[in-house]
Chain A
Amino acid sequence: MTTTLGLSKGAARARGIREFAASPRAKQDHPLWFLIPALVVLVVFFFIPTVFNFVYAFTDWSSFKSGINFVGWDNFVSLFSSGQLLGALWVTLVYAVLVAVFQNVFGLALALLLERDTPLNRGLRVAFFIPVIMSALAVGYIFQAMLKPDGAVNSIIGSIIGQPVDIAWLGSTTWTIVVVALVHAWKWMGLSMLIYLAGLKTIDGDILEAARLDGASWWTTFRSIRFPLLAPAVTFNVATALLGSMNGFDIVQATTAGGPGGTTELLNIFIFRTFGQGLFAQATTMSLVLFLLVAVLAFPVIRTLRKREDVL
């Protein structure tokens, strides 16, 4: 049991912090069986469902029959032989990357704009955080109404440019995924903003003053000092946005339900549809594939981002 006080191992080593090893005394104070209550919760609500997710993927569980039989790799073979799963996986990846980029760019920009502790900024921070606590389905339905060809967005644009506009924002087979990713990013950018704000606050004022004395411009200070020092916040924000939106469902279901033409059909929507058909085992197989994909992506992404923190 070792810890490096929350720093990455490289950063800890750079600062000369030795890895902390629990003493025999500590082991007596906190015997392992203290973990049992927490472990029980973890096993019942996380471990067992996950195991079942693996098991059912190899069965023919459906709403049509009472029995459940093992069918080996059948579900995987039929899923991967049809292009649909790979299509949905690709859409999911594109969506996750778009959301991660938008959410972090918006969040960081907001954090920089609202950095100073003025009363106005405090109010604005609250305003931008409100979407985070709103129901995702509500957000989706509101945007679905606003983005209709005769919706509010087009009326606003129309009144600005002085002629009627009837763009079908959710009707393009190419661009709708970008629009939906923007909606998702809009909902969650307040959270990224908050974390970036916290990150900005932790930067030592002396360093910034030294930079100023050296004649560094705002941009140089940001690029060479503040942004690198924000690395832990970037790690958290990028990882949660990317991996969180891989599991996206609610906003897309409410705005496009996977359309137009299946171009925004995330894997979770595909799973939902398959489950609704009564093909429980196939749906489970897909969710297993998604689980594996998220896991496979998570390690290199977090590792790469943590590496950046070594300069701290």
Chain B
Amino acid sequence: MKNRFRGAAVIAAVAALTLAGCSDPGAGGGDSAPAEWPAQDADLSGTTLTIWAAQNSNTVPESVVEGFEELTGAQVDVVTIPDPYEQSVQTKVATGDTPDLAFWQPTASMLTALNASTNLQPLDDAPWLDSYKPELRDITGILDDTRYAALITTPAVEGVYYNKEVFAANGITDVPANWDEFVQTGRDLKAKGVTPFFDFGGGTPWATQWWVQVQLADAAKDGLWDRVNANEETFTDPTIQGAIDTYDSLIQEGLFNENLKTATFEDQGPALLSGDAAMAVQVNSFFGQLQSLADTAELDEKIGFFPISPSGNVGTFIPDQSNALVAFKTGDAKREAGARQLLSYWLGDGYADFVEAQSTVSLQTDVDSSAEVPQALLAVSDSLADSVGSMQALAIANPDLYLNLGDLIQGTMTTAEVGEATQKQFAELAKAIGAAGF
């Protein structure tokens, strides 16, 4: 009995000691002195830099890595983090595991989710900033007046992808100039027996939220998300709730594909390409799907893009993970400087090669876009200049609006419940972030 008691005492002591050391293992970092920016070709022999990338972005750095390794003698490892990428990275960072650089969505909410001020290197006086086209320089990547993310490709824009042939066959010559015309075009097409809109409620219904967000473009320009961030306006107030109600009413009206409840993302591209449906409100990654189904010539012939907002053709931009990189505070000054040097090279001498290798649109005035960029993507990038930020870009937290809208499609939530559930989650996240007013 005495022995057993002693054993219990030992366990209790061990537990107490462990608990005493209970602190966030992700709380690395340190003070941030103003960073120096090494020359792009400074020698980095013997230094190994790690870049975390997702399954859909792990080939993006190829040309840059090759050029940088040759120029500096550094070794750069691109490590693929399995999907869901953001969750995996957050979990790793929470346990104190950080790379030198990582692909990351450069929005305020996602920078907050990484605890940017503690974990990330500030990039405020980076040498490449002046090379950006002026309208793109400060579009994203900034949290609390500090720049934490380096934008490498054009951020995605929420807007309408449409089948040009279906429009032409039904006598539509001009693309809709505002939301009402857009809906009217849908009704006209339906009257002619064409499925106007394609969305998907099966699988992970992530595109549902674009329908609500493009309706909020005018309000977003007017400071909607600032008010939401301050808890002065909520998802259940008329502006956002109204957009949710409108989305539902379009579904009830029968303007969407018949298999809305069961269709998945994989069905959307083929449906638009074949002309089974005329339009889809989507973002750039949808175009990636189209590119896997058809070549540039066919896409130029069939697929067009126009941004939409209640009062006009204003796009809603939503940078994603493949658009930008963040540099971590690893505590190793040499590697931290190496990471900054790699970014300088990426957006400096290596940028032209990068744009060509990725066949993408250039962000810089002195570098031309690749000649192989499809027209629709050029239209997307043209719409960026006067676009407004999405919920992901401007709100401090990113609630699962799309999931709740998916539940709306399935009939397990009403429009009012969608607004309430989203607001509740937003408030919970905002409280965890420590935002004032929650």
Name the segment of B23-31, B238-246, B320-328, B383-391 touching the other chain.
B23-31
Q: Per-residue CB proximity of A44-55 to B under 8 Å, as 1/0?
A: 000110011001
Contacts of B203 in A (CB 8 A): 257, 259
In contact, B114 and A63 (Cβ under 8 angstroms): yes
Asked whether B48 is an interface residue with its Cβ less than 8 Å from the other chain, the reply is no
Name the segment of A11-19, A128-136, A275-283, A300-308 touching the other chain.
A275-283
In contact, A276 and B84 (Cβ under 8 angstroms): yes
**Measured CA separation A47–B407 after assembly (Å):** 39
- CB A205 to nearest CB in B, in angstroms, measures 46
Known interface pairs A60-B432, A66-B27, A68-B22; A259-B112 also in contact (CB < 8 Å): no
Asked whether A82 is an interface residue with its Cβ less than 8 Å from the other chain, the reply is yes
Contacts of A152 in B (CB 8 A): none
Number of A-B contacts (CB under 8 A): 124
Question: Which B-chain residue is minimally distant from A78 (CB atoms)?
Answer: B428
Known interface pairs A168-B202, A276-B84, A276-B86; A261-B410 also in contact (CB < 8 Å): yes
Size of the chain A interface, CB-CB below 8 angstroms: 43
Interface of B is mostly: helix
Contacts of B204 in A (CB 8 A): 257, 259
Asked whether A39 is an interface residue with its Cβ less than 8 Å from the other chain, the reply is yes
In contact, A64 and B113 (Cβ under 8 angstroms): yes
Size of the chain B interface, CB-CB below 8 angstroms: 50
Asked whether A212 is an interface residue with its Cβ less than 8 Å from the other chain, the reply is no
Q: Per-residue CB proximity of A31-71 to B under 8 Å, as 1/0?
A: 01101000100010001100110010000111111111000
Contacts of B428 in A (CB 8 A): 78, 279, 282
Interface residues of B in 78-111 (CB under 8 A from A): 84, 86-87, 90-91, 93-94
In contact, A261 and B15 (Cβ under 8 angstroms): no
In contact, A149 and B259 (Cβ under 8 angstroms): yes
Asked whether B118 is an interface residue with its Cβ less than 8 Å from the other chain, the reply is yes
Known interface pairs A173-B412, A261-B412; A168-B90 also in contact (CB < 8 Å): no
- CB B20 to nearest CB in A, in angstroms, measures 11
**Measured CA separation A273–B262 after assembly (Å):** 22
- CB A40 to nearest CB in B, in angstroms, measures 9
- CB A59 to nearest CB in B, in angstroms, measures 9
Interface of A is mostly: loop
In contact, A51 and B261 (Cβ under 8 angstroms): no
In contact, B412 and A279 (Cβ under 8 angstroms): no
Asked whether B424 is an interface residue with its Cβ less than 8 Å from the other chain, the reply is yes
- CB B326 to nearest CB in A, in angstroms, measures 14
Contacts of A168 in B (CB 8 A): 202, 259, 261-262
Q: Which of A78, A259, A273 contacts B406 (CB 8 A)?
A: A259
**Measured CA separation A43–B113 after assembly (Å):** 32
In contact, A261 and B407 (Cβ under 8 angstroms): yes
Interface residues of A in 158-200 (CB under 8 A from B): 168, 170-171, 173
**Measured CA separation A132–B15 after assembly (Å):** 37
Known interface pairs A68-B22, A275-B87, A278-B432; A63-B261 also in contact (CB < 8 Å): no
- CB A64 to nearest CB in B, in angstroms, measures 5
In contact, B18 and A261 (Cβ under 8 angstroms): no
Name the segment of B3-11, B39-47, B52-60, B123-131 touching the other chain.
B3-11
Known interface pairs A64-B433, A66-B26, A68-B23; A278-B90 also in contact (CB < 8 Å): yes
- 17 A-B pairs (CB sep. < 8 Å): A32-B3, A39-B11, A43-B14, A48-B14, A63-B94, A63-B115, A65-B115, A66-B27, A84-B421, A171-B202, A259-B203, A260-B202, A260-B261, A260-B410, A263-B412, A272-B87, A275-B91
- Interface positions of A (Cβ within 8 A of B): 32-33, 35, 39, 43, 47-48, 51-52, 55, 60-68, 78, 82, 84, 149, 168, 170-171, 173, 257, 259-263, 272-273, 275-282
Given contacts A43-B15, A68-B22, A273-B400, 19 further A-B contacts (CB under 8 A): A32-B4, A39-B7, A48-B18, A51-B19, A62-B432, A63-B93, A64-B433, A66-B118, A82-B424, A149-B259, A168-B259, A170-B262, A259-B406, A260-B201, A261-B411, A261-B412, A276-B86, A277-B113, A278-B113
